[in-house]
Chains A and B, each alone.
Chain A
Amino acid sequence: MCRLRTLLVTVALGAAALSSSASSQEDTTGNRPPPGVRLGLSYGPGVKPGVIIFPIDETPGDSIRAILQRDLDYSDRINVIALNDSSLRALVPASGKLINFPLVAKFGAALLIRARPTATGVHVTAYDVAAGKVFETADFALPARSRNRNWRFAVHGISDEIEKWILGKRGIAQSRIAYVSGGTLRLIDSDGAESRAVTAGRGALSPAWSPTGRSIVFSILGNTGTQIAELDLATGRTRRIARTPPGLNITPVFHPAGSSVVFAHGFGEGADLVLADPDSGGLRRLTVGRGSDNTSPTFSPDGRQISFTSGRSGRPQVYIMDADGTNLQLLTEYDLGVRSYRTSPDWSPDGRAIAYQQQNGDFQIWKVDLRDRIPRQLTSEGENEDPSWAPDGRHLVFASTRGGTKQLWVLDTESGRFRQLTHDRGARLAAWSPMLGAADTTRTSQ
């Protein structure tokens, strides 16, 4: 963050100086930017730093550039400045000549990214436009087979690293979203590419990632009711969570330490949350529903609390309790006289907020900040259900009918920007993974 502040201050000062010098240059040198592009600079709190990614000549340069641009754009923290090729050529002349930093600055860019494919991957250089010098440079390894799933995923890692250079915090491009479509469990990359089924049969429900991102726990409809199963993503093998009793077993979730799984188990009338204890191999009840339904658990990041849906007071509401089942509190206030209910909570990875769906006519996504406990509505168009936080605690994925059919959409909770993630009919029950890996980097700081 310190680095970002330094960069932005430098850029701001540089920009102020440049705006006067560049305008005078325009007059004297005729170094005008090509027509049809925007001009002007503005720096201040909350302003997204502008980045220009220069075209990459060698194969598969176009793919790398497209992925990087899209990832940085989807981060919603960086302003990717799209220029046509002739404009870009004017900014970066032929090899051996200097980059025209004053002109780059006039397009609002704080950083210029140049990448060059190498024998083992890609070499990336970031230029500090205001300072007119190299800011960071690094070599990233990429899988040999071009443009397959793993190769794309490795390029996402480069995007995240560039974001870290600029903002001091890794991006979330190198993450995936698990979801259910037609009873099959599927995965999709954070940019909406590489959608694929990871289970063969039907009847899969409510997926949740392990803290390491190596496996997914989900419930599956079997002969003896619903069972809790774990899918190992490396081997593709599915195993049943030990001693899941017959009957209703739904909405599993891993403890943040990965040591146990909590899910809702039907006890004759109603369902209670139970902890599948790896030590005893048995189940331990966590909620005392007394005939009501207690489902959809979600852990606080420190694993000390659980938020869940309970119908103990009649209509489903979101509650918080300590992980041992004590200290139960209602998360959201009842609206007296309003017959709404709230379900499917998801605790943000930074621990600050809980997102949930609220039914009051139709379903909408809401979030409540745990400090002030004031609920805020995030969606209003179509039906919006089952929110799941991205690892940055800023983006949410959810199922929505806003596009006509039920699809997964991503919302940036800070800017309010929506983007469609899936395009296969009936996608629902999304779960955003934790960060799935760091880019294989050899970094050279300047």
Chain B
Amino acid sequence: MNKFFRCGSLAVLLSGCYASSADLLKVQSEVSELRASGISADSARRLQLNDISRSLRALTDSISALNSRINALRSTSETEVSALRQDITQLQDLGGQSEQRLREMKATIEETARQPETVAEPGRTTAAPAPRPGPAQLLQVGREQLLRGSNAAARTAFADLMSRYPESEFAPEALFYTAQAFAAEGKPAAADSSYASLVTRFPSSRRIPTALYKRALHLASAGRRTESRRLLQDLVRRFPRSDEAALAEERLQSTR
């Protein structure tokens, strides 16, 4: 039995060795085919990857081009906004100048208008009573006095303007310069009172942001910090684009 088993095993082994050498060639060719097809698949995949990579690069380039275009656009618009802002500032400055010139012209016209007329009567010549100076003229006189440092005389002119022409377009200016004259005289409380009056009586005057800021500074120096903060907050809320609002915001932050 043992002998038979041994002979059988040998026969199987011998037959196996004989079969595998033929198959081996087959397997080898199959492996070669497989390798070739793998290589071709890799190549195709590489091509695909290259395509994708190219597409990505193109996309990135497009995005960066778009980005730089946006930046350029932004820069241009910023420059334009800045130029626009400068134009506005220049216009404001010119507006201020024109306003000043207009005031001077009005004062000149008023001066001409108030020249006394000579009335000829038989036997004598009498001058008609001199008309009173107009509001522009009074403002002009007051400002000149202020520039000279004659603060009390300036205040008299402004007071005259406000009492005679309370509805004049120059009344807010007269009140503003009254406050300035008081400040120049070293009377901060009186100046503050005039600024307060300006804020109450002429709420649409262009001097309001300045008046509010000056009032806030006065209150702060007098130790009334809560009221000062309230005024600064009011200024920022009502006139957010004014220079005074920017200064007020910084003061509010520093005293927080």
Contacts and interface: CB of A to CB of B under 8 A. Distances in A.
B53 to A, nearest CB: 41
A288 interface: yes
A292 B209 CA distance: 22
B86 A288 contact: no
Nearest to A324: B217
A370 interface: yes
Contacts of B82: 291
B243 A314 contact: no
Interface string B158-175: 000000000000000000
A287 B247 CA distance: 8
B243 A313 contact: no
A28 to B, nearest CB: 55
A312 B86 contact: yes
7 closest residue pairs by CB, A with B:
A288-B243, A314-B86, A313-B90, A313-B89, A330-B93, A288-B246, A326-B210
Interface string A288-305: 101110000000001010
A275 B204 CA distance: 31
Interface in B37-93: 82-83, 85-87, 89-90, 93
B90 A334 contact: yes
B214 interface: yes
A302 B186 CA distance: 11
A284 B250 CA distance: 8
Interface string B86-111: 11011001101100000000000000
- Name, among B90, B94, B213, B214, the residue most crowded by chain A CB atoms within 10 Å (CB to CB): B90
A324 B211 CA distance: 12
B144 interface: yes
Contacts of A97: none
Interface of B: 82-83, 85-87, 89-90, 93-94, 96-97, 144, 147-149, 180, 183-184, 209-210, 213-214, 217, 243-244, 246-247, 250, 254
A326 B97 contact: no
A83 B86 CA distance: 61
Nearest to B214: A326
Contacts of A256: none
Contact of A325 (B86, B87, B144, B243): B243
B235 to A, nearest CB: 11
A329 B147 contact: no
Given A313-B90, A333-B97, A288 B85 contact: no
B148 A328 contact: no
A326 B184 contact: no
Nearest to B250: A285
A326 B89 contact: no
A327 B173 CA distance: 12
Nearest to B243: A288
B184 A327 contact: no
B96 A371 contact: no
B148 A324 contact: no
A371 B148 contact: yes
A417 B250 CA distance: 48
A313 B213 contact: no
A324 B250 contact: no
Contacts, number: 60
Question: Mostly helix, strand, loop or mixed at chain B's interface?
Answer: helix
22 contacts: A284-B254, A285-B247, A285-B250, A287-B243, A288-B246, A288-B247, A291-B82, A292-B86, A302-B184, A312-B86, A313-B93, A314-B89, A322-B210, A324-B213, A326-B244, A327-B210, A328-B243, A334-B93, A334-B94, A334-B97, A371-B147, A371-B148
Nearest to A319: B93
A225 interface: no
Question: Mostly helix, strand, loop or mixed at chain A's interface?
Answer: loop
A325 B147 contact: no
A351 B93 CA distance: 23
Contact of B86 (A302, A313, A351, A370): A313
A314 B85 CA distance: 9
A286 B214 CA distance: 13
A282 interface: yes
B101 to A, nearest CB: 9
Contacts of A329: 96
B90 A304 contact: no
A272 B85 CA distance: 17
A326 B243 CA distance: 8
B253 to A, nearest CB: 11
Nearest to B89: A313
Contacts of B90: 313-314, 334
A292 B217 CA distance: 26
A139 to B, nearest CB: 38
A329 B183 CA distance: 18
A290 B85 contact: yes
B220 to A, nearest CB: 11
Contacts of B184: 302, 304
A286 B217 CA distance: 13
B247 A370 contact: no
A291 B83 CA distance: 12
A313 B247 CA distance: 19
A322 B86 CA distance: 22
A288 B89 CA distance: 12
Contacts of A351: 149
A325 B245 CA distance: 11
Contacts of B96: 329-330
Contacts of A284: 250, 254
A111 to B, nearest CB: 33
Contacts of B210: 322, 326-327
Contacts of B213: 324, 326
